[in-house]
Chains A and B, each alone.
Chain A
């Protein structure tokens, strides 16, 4: 579903991502872990077609993001680490805007907004302007906006930050459902316990370079993901 091949991205002299290759297959929840400044957000933004890259290639469902970004974006839902949304719109108007942009039919958007709004307990707040939302509410709204156009691939940057326990549980369920339906999830996180329980595969990145990747069992073995991560951090310091 998402194939990243030899991705390299530089900001001036600094190499943010260095020859990174990952393959996220359909049905997989893929965790992306690394310390601050490791290159996670840069990789994610490159994969979503938000920023360009210097070399390598990224394919979404077999389509090159460099050559056909629009077709790729139709299949992707992206949520950034900080949900800065249009605060001059109300929640419902923002969702309707996203539905318009992705060409979601009238009936489907009404059904899905109701469904996800109720699941995240935000339906009653949808008439409020986004400027009045808390961080968690914005995060919920961003998640709903990502789900209402039925993406094949969800790319999420720190999706659990600011969510209440119920919403965090709900999104984990929804992630699994999406993968069961043939979709894929690629997300970054610092919450290693969540990654350990939720992910089928995991990649650890440091200083733009891939340190290790594979199935959760391959990466952590009998240890916890946290101890493996800390050990690798030290080894590659």
Chain B
């Protein structure tokens, strides 16, 4: 029975990126494969570059174990961040919880089936960090065959520890959320806290690498004392120490078993209690009226704001926008160093444009509209039965994306205008360019989701995080806008310094033209295609 449950979970997990019909053309499958190779490849290369500066110095200092311990810590952190919020939604918020509880499955079986799927994702996250680190080490230093095997086994075992901790935090989150009214706020608070920690570490990664190289012994002693689990991982991998591996294995598996045991006791009650809310009696009052478009727009915005998981996965870019804008003011030196890293001599002159570029990149990572049609799910009948043209329904989805982003774009521009004393044209660009990209992402997201919808999901999080339309929107904004913007800006800075504003204005116009093209195709096909959705 457990096998059947796990099988269903995996089918659900991997089917998410395919459309509802399940029939996809060959080119789409090739596109997905290329997209994945590109995504994985680029992450692996950047991680490899990071670790390449550590391999030889640590090996020479006889601290090879520290190298693998750091790779383990990095993999652990990435997997933990990747799964902590999924754990809350996948374990406690899945739509089939009640169905499964009515079947002859024990709470432990349901829990293990869900955890197995999540652990697979954890291993993928760990692989992203640890494999490039391992390859770099083998290429630069070399590794014993036994050490290599133990490294791989340690990675697999580590997913137990990641799962145990993320489940525990997920359970805590679900428990808190079952008691409070403002779920979105609490979720966002946790999310921002974790992401702030992540970016703090990521932003200082070069500093940490230098610190590790220059103070390897001290850091090694600290890790050995404070995080012995990673010492065992490092020792097993670098020296092929089987005893250390077993110690590592025990430290990973015991918490997992304990968490499964504890969670399975309260699993049912957490799932049932999450619906217990205080009853507020309705008092008839004046109702606000609006037109159909406005009603649809409000519905979209309300849906977005009521789903912390949606905000966290599709709207992170807009939160980062404000953080970057503030950072650009208070951490100018950090940004100036980053600009100098591109070989740009006049960093002061380029500074505001560089920040505008980063802000633009942030909004290009907002995918509110891309899963919006799929998210209609079983409610699709409502928008299909109301007397409103399909085009209006789609326009509301596009508009909601723009309306949600707009305040953040304005706030970022205002912060920069006040503190960076920008020229009028630059100030205008700090507003227009992110706005143009936002419009493009909003239009393209709906355009692509109408082509690749997916309605038979069990958990919304999978549609928002892993669906094909989200991945393609991400790719489109990167290939069509961000990369050309970055490359052409570098060329213009080096060859024609001073001509950045016209280039950025040209890009703003370009984003509008692109948006207009996709919008026009979308509107032409909207009625027919939307009508065919089921």
> Which residues of A approach B to under 8 Å, CB–CB?
48-52, 70-74, 76, 78, 80, 82, 84-86, 88-89, 91-93, 96-103, 105-106, 109-110, 113-114, 123-129, 131-132
A125: B residues at CB distance < 8 A? 279, 282
Across the interface, do A51 and B534 meet the contact criterion of CB distance under 8 Å?
yes
Across the interface, do A103 and B292 meet the contact criterion of CB distance under 8 Å?
yes
Residue B303 CB within 8 A of the other chain:
yes
Residue B288 CB within 8 A of the other chain:
yes
Residue of B nearest to A97 (CB): B295
Across the interface, do B303 and A86 meet the contact criterion of CB distance under 8 Å?
yes
Give chain B nearest CB distance to A90 CB in angstroms.
8
Give the complex CA separation of A52 and B529 in angstroms. 11
A102: B residues at CB distance < 8 A? 386-387
Q: Which of B289-305 touch A at CB < 8 Å?
A: 289-292, 294-296, 298-299, 302-303
Across the interface, do A106 and B389 meet the contact criterion of CB distance under 8 Å?
no
Stretch in contact with the other chain, from B61-69, B314-322, B375-383, B516-524: B375-383
> Which residues of B approach A to under 8 Å, CB–CB?
275, 277, 279-284, 286-292, 294-296, 298-299, 302-303, 306-307, 377-379, 381-382, 384-389, 531-532, 534
B292: A residues at CB distance < 8 A? 100-101, 103
Mostly helix, strand, loop or mixed at chain A's interface?
helix
A85: B residues at CB distance < 8 A? 379, 382
Give the complex CA separation of A103 and B531 in angstroms. 22
Give the complex CA separation of A221 and B37 in angstroms. 70
Contact status of A101 and B284, CB under 8 A, knowing A89-B299, A132-B277: no
Across the interface, do A52 and B386 meet the contact criterion of CB distance under 8 Å?
no
Across the interface, do A100 and B295 meet the contact criterion of CB distance under 8 Å?
yes
Across the interface, do B387 and A78 meet the contact criterion of CB distance under 8 Å?
no
B385 interface neighbour in A48, A91, A99, Cβ under 8 Å: A48
Across the interface, do A92 and B534 meet the contact criterion of CB distance under 8 Å?
no
Across the interface, do A123 and B286 meet the contact criterion of CB distance under 8 Å?
no
Give the complex CA separation of A128 and B387 in angstroms. 27
B379: A residues at CB distance < 8 A? 84-86
Across the interface, do A52 and B531 meet the contact criterion of CB distance under 8 Å?
yes
Residue of B nearest to A125 (CB): B282
Which of B275, B377, B384 has the most CB atoms of chain A within a 10 A radius of its CB?
Answer: B384
Contact status of A50 and B388, CB under 8 A, knowing A97-B299, A100-B295, A132-B275: no
Across the interface, do A131 and B378 meet the contact criterion of CB distance under 8 Å?
no
Given A71-B387, A91-B282, A105-B289, output 4 extra A-B contacts at Cβ < 8 Å: A50-B385, A85-B379, A103-B292, A110-B286
| 19 A-B residue pairings within 8 Å (CB atoms) | A48-B385, A51-B531, A70-B387, A78-B381, A84-B378, A85-B382, A86-B303, A88-B302, A92-B282, A93-B302, A97-B298, A97-B299, A99-B287, A100-B295, A106-B286, A123-B282, A124-B282, A125-B282, A131-B275
